[in-house]
Structure 1
Amino acid sequence: MPHSTHIQNPDVILIGSGVMSANLAALLKRLEPSLSIQVYEVTEELAQESSHGWNNAGTGHAGICELSYTPTHEADGTVKVGKAIEIFEQFDHSKQFWAYAVASGMVEKPREFITPLPHISFVHGEKMVAYLKARYEGMAAHHFFKEMEFSTDRDKIRSWAPLLLDKRGDVPIAATKMDAGTDVNFGNISRKLLGWLEKQAGCGVATNHRVTNLTKNDQGWEVEVKDLVSGATHHNNAKFVFVGAGGGSLGLLQKADIPEAKGLGGFPIGGQWLVCDNPEIVAQHEAKVYGQPLDSAPTMAVPHLDTRYLDGKKTLLFGPFAAWTTKFLHKKGSYLDLPLSVKPDNLATLIKIGLSNMPLVKYLVQQGTQSMDDRMEVLHVFYPGAKTEDWKLIDAGIRVQAIKKTDGEAGIVHYGTEVITNEDKSISALLGASPGASVSVNIVMEVIKKCFGHLLETAEGKARMKEMIPSWDEDLKKPGMEGRYQEIERRSNELLQLG
C-alpha cells in the first residue's frame, strides 16, 4: 500500500524503509517524542528490498548455528566463540526492543514477524565432527548457550531434522541444536514499526519517492526527492539524515561527498533460493540448519536448509546461491549501478579487490552458470533424498559487499555491518551485510549514542532507553550475569510468544 505523508523540514530524514530505518525511527521517536521524522522509500510499498521476507534467510542471527562466527584458533586448535557470544547479545537487544513494542502497543501479533524455531549446525567428515564438538564445548560453557545439545548419534539427529538422514551414507556426522532460535520476517516488523510511526505527530512516510541528491548546508542537509508517480522534484531539509537504503546507500554517500566515504566501493552479489512447497516434505523439517562452508567458496557462501514462515504459510528454502549482477537493488536497481559507482577515489581499491579475490570471482562465475542439477548436488549434501521435481529456483535480494581501504589495503567487508558517520554527526549511513537485520537494534543504538548522545545524558532519556532495552547499559555476557540475562530473556520471550 502506497504511503504519502510528508513533513517539511523535519529534524530527521531517513532514506529507505528497511529494518534499520524502521528501528531507528521508532527508537528515536520513543526516546524523544518531540522529534519530527520523515521516511522516504523508493518502492511502492515498505521494506521491499533486503528486508523483504523472501529476500533473506530470516534467521534471527544469534551465533547459535553459524559456523562462520566461530573460527578455529590457529595456534592451539581451539575454537574461538567470542564473536558468537557478541552476536547473541546484540540480537537480544532486538528481541528486547520488539518485546517492548508489543507491550507498549506499538505493534501487535508478534507471531507475524517472529517465530520460535530450533537452530542446528550440521557437519560431516571426521575433521568437521571434531571441530563441532570443540565448538560446542566452548559455547555451552557460556550461559547464553548452556541449553545447546551436541550429538553424533544418527537417531538423535534424525529426531531433530529427519531430512538430514534421508538416504545418507556412512560418513561421520555431528550436529548441535538449540531450541531458542528464531525465524524472523524483517519486512513485517519494519512495516509494523513504520505503521506506528506514521500515526505519530510530526512524522511522515512517503513511498514511491527516490532521494536523488544530498547537499550539506548550515542547518544540516538539503535532500532532493523525486516523486516517482507525479515526476515532480522537491527539496526538504533536516538536521540529521540516515541513509539506510541498502544497496542504494553507496551512491547517496558519494553524492553527499563526505570525506568518510572517500575510497568506498561496492560489489553486488545477487541471491537465489531453492524453494520446496511439497507439504509432505515441508512437514518433516522444523529448523534452520547451517552447514560447513562449501569447497572453494568464500566465507559468505555457507549453505543452510531453512524452515520459513512467509505469507501465512510454512515453506522450505535452501541456499543461498550467488548470482552475478551489476544492480545494487533488487526491485529498483539499474544495471548501471556498478559502473556508475566507480569513481577516481575508489578505482584503485576496486581493481585491487578484483585481482586479490580471484576465488570470489571464480565462485560467482561458477554460481551464475550452474544448472538445476548442479544446485541439487549441493542440496544433496544436506538432504541426500531430495528430488528435483520438489524444488524450484527463485531470485532473492541483492547484497552489496562494502569495499574499503583498511591500513592502505583493500578489503571486502564479508561479515558485519558498519555505520559511517561524518565529523559533525549530521549524517550516518549503513554499509555491510550479515547479520545486519538481526542486530539492527544494536546498530542503530550506536547511531543514537554517537549522533543523539544528548538524549541519553538526562535521567529521563536514560529511563526511557532502559524501558525499551533493559540491558542497553549492562553487559549480559559477563560472568555473574546469568540471572539477569534469564530474567530479561523470560520477559522478552513471553511478550514475543516465543515460550
Structure 2
Amino acid sequence: MTSNETKTDVILIGAGIMSATLGTLLKELVPDWEISVFEKLGKPGEESSNEWNNAGTGHAALCELNYTNEKPDGSIDISKAITINEQFQISMQFWSYLVNHKRLHHPQEFIRQLPHMSFVQGDQNVLFLKKRFEALSNNPLFQGMEFSDDPNRIKEWIPLIMEGRTSKDPIAATKIDTGTDVNFGALTRRMFDYLTDTGVHVHYNQSVKDMKRTSDGLWEVKVKNLESGAIESHTAKFVFIGGGGGSLHLLQKTGIPESKHIGGFPVSGLFMVCNNPFVVEQHHAKVYGKAKVGAPPMSVPHLDTRYIDNKKSLLFGPFAGFTPKFLKTGSMFDLVTSIKPNNVLTMLAAGAKEMALTKYLIQQVMLNKDQRMEELREFIPKAKSEDWDLVVAGQRVQVIKDTVEGGKGTLQFGTEVITAEDGSIAALLGASPGASTAVQVMLEVIEKCFPQYRKEWESKIKEMVPSHGSSLMQNRELLRFIHHTTAKTLGFEDEGQENKKSKDPILQEV
C-alpha cells in the first residue's frame, strides 16, 4: 500500500449528473482550473443517474400532481410548479448551449419531446384536476395544456389506458405536448466524455475514505484505489460531494457545523417494465396519477414511455421497497452507521412522526407480482402478467432534519444543498426533482461558494443560460425565444414535432 499526494483546484466526489453539471459549468467559466473527479464505480452515471434507476421524466410540473397543492379554501397553489418549471427551463437552455458549442452531440440520444399527462378518477379528483388546469393554463409557462373529462377524447390520447375500462367513476385528464423524456444516464456519460477531453482528471474505482481541513484552509481528501488498494491524498480549495445516497456519510466526515442534526432515510424503487413490443407501441406519453390517501409523494403512480438505447420502452411504477443501503451498491450497515450522537434525536423524532410511511413501506415490500399487477390494471385494465417484468430502480435517501415549520425530525421530500459557511465545501442530498433541476442547483452552489467571482462570471452564465436572473413567467418575449431556440437545438422539430407549433401558443407567435 502506497500513499501519494496531489493538489488541485476542485474535487468532485461522485460521477453522476450533479458532478457532471458542476464540472461542465466550471470548465466553461474557468477553463484553466484543475478539476479531479473520484467515483467508486467503474463508469459514470451508474447509480441514481442511470436510465434504469429513475423515471426519466423532465420534471417541469406539467403532469406531477404533487407539485400543486389544494389550499384549505379550495384554491390551487401553483407556486412550486412555477419554480420547478422555470428550473427545468434553465437545464434545457444549458443543454442547448452545450449542443450549439459542440460540447454535446446527437441530443436525441439523451432527450426527446413527449406528451405529459395527468389522469385521475373519482368526483373529487376530477374537480381537483379541473381547478389545477384552470390555475395553470392561465400561466404562460403552461400554455398549450388541454383538459378533458370526455372518455372518448381521453381514449384518443391514451388508448392503452382506456381500453377495457368498465368503471363508472368519472375520469379526467390533462395533456401538454411539450413534455420531455430525458435519459440522464446518457447525458451524464456524454458530459463526462467532454470533461475528460478537456483535461479533467476522472478517476474510477476510487472510494473516498476520509476528508479533513488542513491548516492552510484546503480540504484533504483520502482516496482508496479499489483495484490496487493504494491510498492517495488529494487537496483542493473546493470540494463538492455529489455521491447520491452516499453523500450523507461523506458530509458527516467533514465535521462542518452544517452537517450536524441531519439524517437520511433510504427508500428503494421498483418498476414494472413491459416486454411486449405490441403493447409498448400502443402508448406514447408520460401519464401521472394521484397518490392514494395517506401515501407519500414518492408513491405517485405513473405509466411512462421511455427511450433507452434508442429503443422504446414502457414502465409503470414506482413501487417502494426498503433496504438499509444508501446506494444500490452500498452496505447493509449504511443506515445504522449514519446515526451519530448529533442526529440521533432527529432520527428518533422522525421515526415517531412517520409511522404512516413505515406502514406504507411494509405494505409495499410485502406485495407479490399478482398484487402489483392489480395496481397496474388500475392504469391498464387489460394488462397481462406475462407481458411485464419487475426491475429494481435506484436508492433514494430522503433527508431528515430539524425545521422551524415541521419541528424536530422533519422528513424532506426534495433536494437539499448543504454548504459550509465559507463556501469551501458543498454537498447535495435528497431526491426529486433532482436531476431535472441540476443546472439551477449547481448555479446556486457556484453563487454560494464562489461569491468573489459573481461579477466576473455573470456574462458567461447569461450566455449559457439566457434566462439566468430573470423570471420567464414575467417575460413572455424571453420565454418565447427560449421555447423556440431550445426546441430547434435539441431536435424536437426534427422528431416530427413541427406540427405542434400550432398547438403551442408560445411557439405559434415565433
> Using the alignment, how far apart are the partners of 2:273 and 2:482 within structure 1?
36
**2:479 is the alignment partner of 1:485:** yes
Structure-to-structure mapping, 1:117-266, within 5 angstroms: 117-169=114-166, 170-201=168-199, 203-217=200-214, 218-266=216-264
> Using the alignment, how far apart are the partners of 1:258 and 1:298 within structure 2?
31
User: Which residue of structure 1 lines up, in the alignment, with residue 392 of structure 2?
Assistant: 395
> Using the alignment, how far apart are the partners of 1:64 and 1:469 within structure 2?
21
Give yes or no for contact 1:121–1:289 (8 Å, CA) kept in 2: yes
User: Which of these residues, 104, 109, 115, is aligned with residue 107 of structure 1?
Assistant: 104
SS of residue paired to 1:439 = helix
**2:465 is the alignment partner of 1:466:** no
User: Which of these residues, 10, 32, 35, is aligned with residue 34 of structure 1?
Assistant: 32
> Using the alignment, how far apart are the partners of 2:299 and 2:454 within structure 1?
39
> Using the alignment, how far apart are the partners of 2:158 and 2:365 within structure 1?
30
SS of residue paired to 1:54 = coil
Counterpart residue type for residue 291 of structure 1 = G
**2:438 is the alignment partner of 1:440:** yes
User: Which of these residues, 377, 380, 389, is aligned with residue 380 of structure 1?
Assistant: 377
In the TM superposition, what is the alpha-carbon distance from 1:266 to its structure 2 partner?
0.7
Give yes or no for contact 1:32–1:455 (8 Å, CA) kept in 2: no
User: Which residue of structure 2 lines up, in the alignment, with residue 409 of structure 1?
Assistant: 408
| Residue segments in structure 1 that go unaligned for 5+ positions in a row | 1-5
Give yes or no for contact 2:17–2:45 (8 Å, CA) kept in 1: yes
Give yes or no for contact 2:350–2:408 (8 Å, CA) kept in 1: no
Deviations, residues 344-382 of structure 1 (Å, cap 9, x unaligned): 111111111111111100011000010111111111111
> Using the alignment, how far apart are the partners of 1:294 and 1:375 within structure 2?
15
In the TM superposition, what is the alpha-carbon distance from 1:294 to its structure 2 partner?
2.0
> Using the alignment, how far apart are the partners of 1:92 and 1:292 within structure 2?
25
SS of residue paired to 1:53 = coil
User: Which residue of structure 2 lines up, in the alignment, with residue 3 of structure 1?
Assistant: none
Q: How many residues align?
A: 486
User: Which residue of structure 1 lines up, in the alignment, with residue 499 of structure 2?
Assistant: none
Give yes or no for contact 2:145–2:176 (8 Å, CA) kept in 1: yes
Structure-to-structure mapping, 1:57-136, within 5 angstroms: 57-74=55-72, 76-136=73-133
> Using the alignment, how far apart are the partners of 1:311 and 1:369 within structure 2?
32
SS of residue paired to 1:205 = strand
User: Which of these residues, 17, 20, 44, is aligned with residue 18 of structure 2?
Assistant: 20
In the TM superposition, what is the alpha-carbon distance from 1:299 to its structure 2 partner?
2.0
> Using the alignment, how far apart are the partners of 1:298 and 1:463 within structure 2?
41
SS of residue paired to 1:300 = helix
Deviations, residues 198-235 of structure 1 (Å, cap 9, x unaligned): 1114x210111111111111242000001111111110
Give yes or no for contact 1:271–1:395 (8 Å, CA) kept in 2: yes
SS of residue paired to 1:171 = coil
Deviations, residues 238-260 of structure 1 (Å, cap 9, x unaligned): 00000000000000011111100
Counterpart residue type for residue 477 of structure 2 = G
> Using the alignment, how far apart are the partners of 1:342 and 1:462 within structure 2?
41
> Using the alignment, how far apart are the partners of 2:249 and 2:297 within structure 1?
26
**2:342 is the alignment partner of 1:348:** no
Counterpart residue type for residue 143 of structure 1 = P
| Residue segments in structure 2 that go unaligned for 5+ positions in a row | 494-510
User: Which residue of structure 2 lines up, in the alignment, with residue 421 of structure 1?
Assistant: 419
In the TM superposition, what is the alpha-carbon distance from 1:295 to its structure 2 partner?
3.5
> Using the alignment, how far apart are the partners of 2:238 and 2:153 within structure 1?
54
In the TM superposition, what is the alpha-carbon distance from 1:454 to its structure 2 partner?
2.6
Give yes or no for contact 1:7–1:36 (8 Å, CA) kept in 2: no
Counterpart residue type for residue 103 of structure 1 = N
> Using the alignment, how far apart are the partners of 1:159 and 1:482 within structure 2?
31
> Using the alignment, how far apart are the partners of 1:368 and 1:152 within structure 2?
35
Deviations, residues 258-298 of structure 1 (Å, cap 9, x unaligned): 10010111110111000002111100110000001124311
Report sequence identity in percent.
Answer: 50
> Using the alignment, how far apart are the partners of 2:152 and 2:429 within structure 1?
43
User: Which of these residues, 438, 455, 458, is aligned with residue 457 of structure 1?
Assistant: 455
SS of residue paired to 2:392 = strand
TM-score (normalised: structure 2): 0.94
> Using the alignment, how far apart are the partners of 2:227 and 2:112 within structure 1?
37
> Using the alignment, how far apart are the partners of 1:29 and 1:245 within structure 2?
20
In the TM superposition, what is the alpha-carbon distance from 1:420 to its structure 2 partner?
0.4
Counterpart residue type for residue 491 of structure 2 = Q
Deviations, residues 176-202 of structure 1 (Å, cap 9, x unaligned): 00000000011111111111111114x
User: Which residue of structure 1 lines up, in the alignment, with residue 508 of structure 2?
Assistant: none
SS of residue paired to 2:74 = coil
> Using the alignment, how far apart are the partners of 1:190 and 1:492 within structure 2?
19
Give yes or no for contact 2:5–2:233 (8 Å, CA) kept in 1: no
Give yes or no for contact 2:5–2:232 (8 Å, CA) kept in 1: no
In the TM superposition, what is the alpha-carbon distance from 1:72 to its structure 2 partner?
0.3
SS of residue paired to 1:494 = helix
- The structure 1 segments of at least 4 consecutive aligned residues displaced by more than 3 Å after TM superposition are none
Counterpart residue type for residue 227 of structure 2 = V
> Using the alignment, how far apart are the partners of 2:196 and 2:42 within structure 1?
16
In the TM superposition, what is the alpha-carbon distance from 1:77 to its structure 2 partner?
0.2
Give yes or no for contact 1:7–1:204 (8 Å, CA) kept in 2: no
User: Cα RMSD over matched residues?
Assistant: 1.2
Give yes or no for contact 2:16–2:48 (8 Å, CA) kept in 1: yes
SS of residue paired to 2:279 = helix
Give yes or no for contact 1:380–1:386 (8 Å, CA) kept in 2: yes
**Stretch moving more, 7-16 or 25-34:** 7-16
In the TM superposition, what is the alpha-carbon distance from 1:7 to its structure 2 partner?
10
Give yes or no for contact 1:294–1:303 (8 Å, CA) kept in 2: no
Counterpart residue type for residue 468 of structure 1 = M
> Using the alignment, how far apart are the partners of 1:241 and 1:129 within structure 2?
48
User: Which residue of structure 1 lines up, in the alignment, with residue 472 of structure 2?
Assistant: 476
SS of residue paired to 1:438 = helix
Counterpart residue type for residue 465 of structure 1 = I
> Using the alignment, how far apart are the partners of 2:402 and 2:293 within structure 1?
28
In the TM superposition, what is the alpha-carbon distance from 1:389 to its structure 2 partner?
1.0
> Using the alignment, how far apart are the partners of 2:15 and 2:487 within structure 1?
26
